[in-house]
Each structure stands twice: as C-alpha cells, then as structure tokens.
C-alpha cells in the first residue's frame, strides 16, 4: 500500500478499473468481492457509497495498489497494462504535485 505524506492512501476506484478494462462496473465489483474474500481481506474498508450521474447511490470500492493488482491479475494482459500505466500516471502526478 502506498502511504502518502499526509497519511492518506493512494487508491483506484472500481469505476476507474471498469473504465480501463472495458468491463461493467457490477462485474468488477463482483471480481473484487470474490478475490478479496478468497484472500481473507476485509473488503468493507475499501467500500463506500457515492452518487452517480443520475444522483443514484452506487457502491464503489477504492483499492490501494496491492489490492488493485490482486484483482486485475486474472484480467487480460491488455487490461493489466492499462491498470499499470494508470498507477504510473498517478505516481508521476504525485511527484509533480505533492499533496
């Protein structure tokens, strides 16, 4: 897990994962629940409810890098690469614009 200078952890949302992998958000959430449960990782600490564009409540997971990589490890190489590139971009942005 990446701990930032202000004590917060850098994460990627299940929505972003679904966008990068061209998977339905509901399918990504199922993958997250299944894999984290299998690894006996408490998924509740990554889950929260937010509002979507239609102002509906939607469950979203915000995963640290370790858990994100764990979830996408079974995805195709093309989609794993998209996730890796996104994490690199997040790190680069943090170096350029520290919190």
pLDDT single digits (tens) 5-37: 445 789 999 999 999 999 999 999 999 999 999
Q: What is the pTM of this model?
A: 0.81
What's the whole-number mean pLDDT along residues 68-84?
Answer: 94
| Residue 29 contacts residue 61 (beta carbons within 8 Å) | yes
Residue 52: pLDDT band with limits 50, 70, 90: confident
pLDDT at 88 exceeding the cut of 80: yes
What's the whole-number mean pLDDT along residues 29-47?
Answer: 96
Question: What is the percent of the chain with per-residue pLDDT over 90, rounded to a whole number?
Answer: 73
Interacting residues of 31 by C-beta distance below 8 A, sequence separation 6+: 23, 71, 74
């Amino acid at each position: 897990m990446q701990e930032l200078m202000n004590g917060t952890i850098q994460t990627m949302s299940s929505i972003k994962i679904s966008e990068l992998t061209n998977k339905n958000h509901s399918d990504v959430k199922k993958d997250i629940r299944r894999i984290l449960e299998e690894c006996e990782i408490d998924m509740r600490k990554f889950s929260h409810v937010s509002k979507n564009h239609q102002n509906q409540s939607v469950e979203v997971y915000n995963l640290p890098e370790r858990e994100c990589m764990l979830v996408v490890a079974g995805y195709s190489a093309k989609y794993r690469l998209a996730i890796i590139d996104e994490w690199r971009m997040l790190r680069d942005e943090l170096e350029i614009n520290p919190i």
